[in-house]
């Protein structure tokens, strides 16, 4: 027997994510940009591994092992200077394929760090990839679920995927659908805020303030002022219309690092530095030379990876870094003025 509600469910299952979103808007009215972005990204990340050549985009740890190794070296140094606390854990937000964690931990294990690995990841597809590389990792849905221990935490391209609100005057910009395509309800000068990022940052800062440790945040974004509308979609390594394929393109927005710093005020907050200057300060030059000496046939590829990560015309300037720490913990290297 088929009840009306069952047959509706059956229909819903056959509908694409975009179709479900269209129906929701037809039923409930236009949704906020933040709702659109968080719904679309939840579907996007839950249903695929978006990284790498076959996917939609490439991130710094997938470009070169040097990225994760230098982050591991910086975390290891802070941990050693903190007195090598045995209860500290490695933690990561949105670890992708787990590549950064594997590269960082290889360096950290060498100086005696034996702590557990805790990953905050919502995507079942990516959890599977991470577990393959990090068999002992413990998974969590939310930052608040991390165990009450000192953290050595990193987040690369995590905050850019968290939803932004777009404001025009004192009204939120919304997304509608006319039955055929998605469109913004109205235009005008746009201001972005992100309660989702503020909440994640505040949860992280509260953890560090209560239990100790340090965190390193890397993302693309800006250190001062406002940027207007920065919502963007990437699919198959090319920019796409953010409204075109909800759930099948990666939706991100520039990270406002000043806002992250304010939301972390329970901690000691570093200044904001560019990814290129930080990697150079941490010694990517000598690291590239060592790697090339060991793998002479890779010399050109290693040099190209360093340029891609550090050059101002590539990722070096657009990507920024900030660190938070318990006030009694040593500062992470590379943020001195
Ligand atoms: N840090 C990785 C992956 C970046 S992609 C790298 O540098 O390669 C964004 C990551 O954040 C993915 O792992 C995605 O599944 C995860 N993610 C996105 N939104 C999330 C959320 N709300 N909670 C937890 N993880 C999330």
pLDDT band at 5 (very low <50, low <70, confident <90, very high): very low
Cβ of 61 less than 6 Å from ligand 1: yes
User: What's the 121 CA to ligand 1 centre distance in angstroms?
Assistant: 6
- Distance in Å, CA 58 to ligand 1 centroid: 13
Residue 27, both tokens: 């039923």
Q: Look at residues 93, 96, 219 and name the one whose alpha carbon lies nearest to residue 152.
A: 93
Which of 156, 123, 255, 266 lies closest to 206 in space, CA to CA? 266
For a ligand 1 pocket test, name from 123, 195, 196 the mutation site with the most ligand atoms within 8 angstroms of its C-beta. 123
Residue 216 CB less than 6 A away from ligand 1: no
In the chain, how long is the greatest CA-to-CA distance? 71
Separation of 131 CA from ligand 1 center, angstroms? 15
The pLDDT tens digits for 75-114 are 999 999 999 999 999 999 999 999 999 999 999 999 999 9
Report the pLDDT value the prediction gives residue 87, as an integer from 0 to 100.
98
Question: Counting atoms of ligand 1 from 1, which one is nearest the CA of 50?
Answer: 5
Q: Which residues contact 293 (CB under 8 A, 6 or more apart)?
A: none
In this prediction the pTM is 0.95
Identify the burial level of 40 via C-beta atoms within 10 angstroms of its C-beta, where 0-12 means exposed, 13-18 middle and 19 or more buried: buried
Quickly count: other Cβ atoms within 10 Å of residue 128's Cβ: 10
pLDDT value at residue 138: 98
Other Cβ atoms closer than 10 A to 2: 7
What is the 3-state secondary structure of 279-328?
HHHCCHHHHHHHHHHHCHHHHHHHHHHHHHHHCCCCCCCCEEEEEEECCC
Confidence of residue 2 (pLDDT cuts 50, 70, 90): very low
The tens digit of pLDDT for each residue in 298-330 reads: 999 999 999 999 999 999 999 999 999 999 999
CA of 45 to the centre of ligand 1 (A): 8
Average pLDDT of every residue of the chain: 95
Tell whether the model's pLDDT for residue 8 goes beyond 50.
Answer: no
Selection from 284, 331, 332, 297 nearest residue 69 by Cα: 284
Atom of ligand 1 nearest to the CA of 157: 4
Calculate how far, in angstroms, residue 159's C-alpha sits from the geometric centre of ligand 1. 8
Residue 168: the pLDDT is 96
How much is the pLDDT for 325? 98
Q: Is the CB of residue 94 below 6 angstroms from any atom belonging to ligand 1?
A: yes
Greater model confidence, 231 or 6: 231
pLDDT at 13 over 60: no
**12 has a pLDDT exceeding 50:** no
């Amino acid at each position: 027997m088929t009840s009306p509600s069952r047959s509706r469910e059956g229909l819903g299952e056959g509908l694409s994510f975009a179709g479900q979103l269209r129906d929701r808007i037809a039923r409930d009215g236009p949704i906020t940009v933040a709702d659109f972005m968080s719904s679309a990204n939840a579907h996007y990340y839950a249903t695929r591994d978006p990284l790498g050549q076959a996917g939609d985009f490439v991130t710094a740890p997938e470009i070169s092992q040097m990225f994760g190794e230098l982050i591991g070296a910086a975390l290891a140094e802070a941990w050693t200077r903190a007195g090598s606390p045995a209860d500290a854990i490695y933690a990561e937000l949105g670890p992708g394929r787990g590549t950064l964690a594997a590269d960082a931990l290889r360096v950290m294990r060498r100086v005696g760090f034996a702590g557990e690995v805790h990953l905050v990841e919502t995507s079942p597809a990516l959890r599977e990839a991470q577990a393959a590389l990090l068999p002992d990792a413990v998974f969590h849905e939310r930052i608040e679920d991390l165990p009450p221990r000192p953290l050595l935490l990193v987040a690369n391209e995590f905050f850019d995927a968290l939803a932004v609100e777009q404001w025009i005057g004192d009204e939120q910009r919304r997304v509608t659908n006319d039955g055929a395509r998605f469109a913004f309800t109205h235009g005008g000068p746009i201001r972005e805020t992100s309660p989702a990022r503020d909440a994640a940052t505040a949860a992280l800062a509260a953890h560090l303030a209560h239990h100790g440790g340090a965190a390193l945040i890397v993302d693309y974004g800006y250190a001062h002022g406002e940027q207007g509308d920065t919502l963007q979609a990437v699919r198959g390594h090319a920019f796409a219309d953010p409204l075109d394929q909800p759930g099948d393109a990666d939706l991100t927005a520039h990270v406002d690092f000043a806002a992250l710093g304010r939301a972390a005020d329970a901690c000691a907050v570093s200044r904001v530095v560019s990814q290129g200057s930080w990697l150079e300060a941490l010694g990517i030059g000598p690291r590239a030379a060592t790697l090339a000496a060991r793998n002479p046939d890779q010399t050109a590829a290693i040099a190209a990876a360093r340029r891609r990560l550090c050059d101002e015309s590539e990722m070096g300037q657009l990507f920024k870094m900030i660190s938070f720490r318990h006030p009694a913990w040593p500062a992470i290297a590379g943020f001195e003025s």
